Amino acid sequence: MIKINLQGIERQVSLIPLAVLNAALVSVGLFARDDKGLAVAAVVQAITVGSISLDQVKAASPSTVTPSALPLDVRKEIETISQRVTQTVTDTSNALDRIRSQERNTLTLISETHSKVDDLIAVTKKAQDDSLTAVEKKINARLNKLAPPEVDIKAIKASIASEVRSAFDGFRKTAPVATLEEIASALPPVTKTVRAGDIFDGCFYEVYGVVTDFSDLPVQVWGDPSAPALVDDYIFAPEHLHQTLIALHDDNHLPDNLWLAGERGTGKTEFVTQIAARLQRRLYRVNFDEALERADFIGGNTIEQGTVVWKAGVITQAIQHAGAIILLDEVGFARSQAIAVLHSLCERSPHRSLTVAETGQRIAVSPDVVFFCADNSNGHGDTSGNFDGVREKNSAFIDRFGYTLRFDYLPPHQEAALISGRTGLSAAAADIIIGFAQVARQKAQAGLLTQPPSLRQLFAFARAVKGGFPVRLAFVNAVVNKYPQDSEGELIGAFEATVDATAFADALSQ
């Protein structure tokens, strides 16, 4: 922190003519003074708060500016307020000096304690060649010097801890929130290793006749307070979960990136979010579209207070946070030239980094940072015709994702249970809604619908009828109106074929 020499500045300002001082005051929106002492005090205050620099004051052109025509009593009140502001700045500076002094004293005490411990270790090492009796005598003698029987070691430790807390509390009360957040982000994460079965349900599955149980797979929990909120009823596909946990765990802190492909509403984004929630890792999400530029997610130059400065984007901030999960959502809509910069970041290499073109700065990717892509395609574009704007990606970019997981809809009974659990709709009514969704999805696969109904639309439909809204109108508002007009006939047909009004009314009352 830069400390301003107020006395030195005041001496220099007092040598500047009154006309120049008044010109400087007017240039920053303040009124001129007819008393040089008051003008000096006002200019010093403006320099202290950063409104103008000493060099700018000296360079101000002498002006014919006359003191304000405000009434004398008003001007005196303004001067009084100005003096109070100056005194407040001075008091704040003095308070910060006291805090720094307390910090230095605390650090000195801690350093002295470490020094005593180091001395004890040195004595112990030197005594290794002596006989056991001689070693014991020397250690005991040294311990007696460090801590006589009448000294309460616990009390000393408690006193040190109290002093540290007191010093930090003072700093915390005066430091800006942004500074405290920066300090918290800089602290190394505290991780613990647990079993997968301790934090995930259903850690087993059967594929090709082979049952796999990964309950004992070791996983790291990061304890990041900024991790996403936990959704208890989210259902993981166990084979996707197993592959993901293997990809994330690496002894060299270089995880494999993952690409998640599948229809909308199949839970890709929520899968990544709930992985981050359960592993208590920070999640950074970037939603791509064809208009998104490199500067939007990497960073770029901007103007602050008349000066050009480089501001980091969300991905540049994310790669500096160890253990971060970065979700590139709907990356299929991004233009290849816009995401070319991500190649070096997604490389599975200890040298992965980003070089800022505007400044030349090299920013290394922190340990255990991992990238997820969530997209309707697997990177090779849309072959169904349902997702206009999805582009084929460069094979070099796709290859930087170690595993590609294909997402599909949950089994019907699990989808119905999820709708019932989240909306309070009866299980029988939820089964009928899923019956409609399955028919509509088949129509989408046959090309009769532009896309299948999403799970979000089904949730909205269920919430409306649960609230007593007319069933047919709820269906139109939640589903039909989301589609092009030429899809209306197919949707209404699927609805009428699967949703019997009488049966649905009975189901709602259950």
| 294, 341 Cβ separation under 8 angstroms | yes
In tens, the pLDDT along 346-396 reads: 988 899 999 888 888 899 999 999 999 998 876 555 555 444 445 566 778
pLDDT: which is higher, 507 or 102: 507
Q: Residue 73: which residues within 8 A CB-CB, separation 6 or more?
A: none
Please state, in angstroms and rounded to a whole number, the distance separating the CA atoms of residues 295 and 392: 22
> Which residues are CB-neighbours of 21 under 8 A, at least 6 positions away?
13, 33, 36, 39, 40, 42, 43, 57, 60
Report, as an integer, the average pLDDT of 170-180: 61
CA distance 125 to 118: 11
More confident residue, 106 or 78: 106
Are 450 and 487 in contact, with CB atoms under 8 Å apart?
Answer: yes
Burial pattern 124-157, b for ≥16 Cβ within 10 A else e, equals eeebeeeeeeebeeeeeebeeeeeeeeeeeeeee
Instruction: Tell me the pLDDT tens digit for each residue of 435-486.
Output: 999 999 899 888 888 888 888 899 999 999 999 999 999 999 999 999 888 8
Cβ 248 vs Cβ 279: under 8 Å: yes
Note the maximum CA span of the chain: 97
* d(C-alpha 325, C-alpha 228), whole Å: 11
Lookup: tokens for 457:
């639309």
What's the chain's Rg over C-alpha atoms? 34
Q: How far is CA 455 from the centre of its chain?
A: 27
Cβ distance 221 to 280 under 8 Å? Answer: yes
The pLDDT of residue 495 is above 50: yes
Query: How does pLDDT run across 125-134, given as a tens digit for each residue?
Result: 665 556 566 6
What size, in residues, is the chain?
510
Beta bridge partner(s), residue 380: 392
CA distance 426 to 420: 6
**What is the pTM for the complete model shown?**
0.60
Q: For 204-252, how does the pLDDT look when each residue is reduced to its tens digit (9 = 90+)?
A: 999 989 999 999 999 999 999 999 999 988 989 999 999 999 999 988 8
Q: State whether residue 284 is helix, strand or coil.
A: strand
Sign of CA dihedral 329, 358, 52, 173: positive
Question: Quick check: helix, strand or coil at residue 304?
Answer: strand
Average pLDDT score, the chain: 81
Q: Which residue has the higher pLDDT, 146 or 269?
A: 269
Residues 314, 317, 319, 321, CA torsion sign: negative
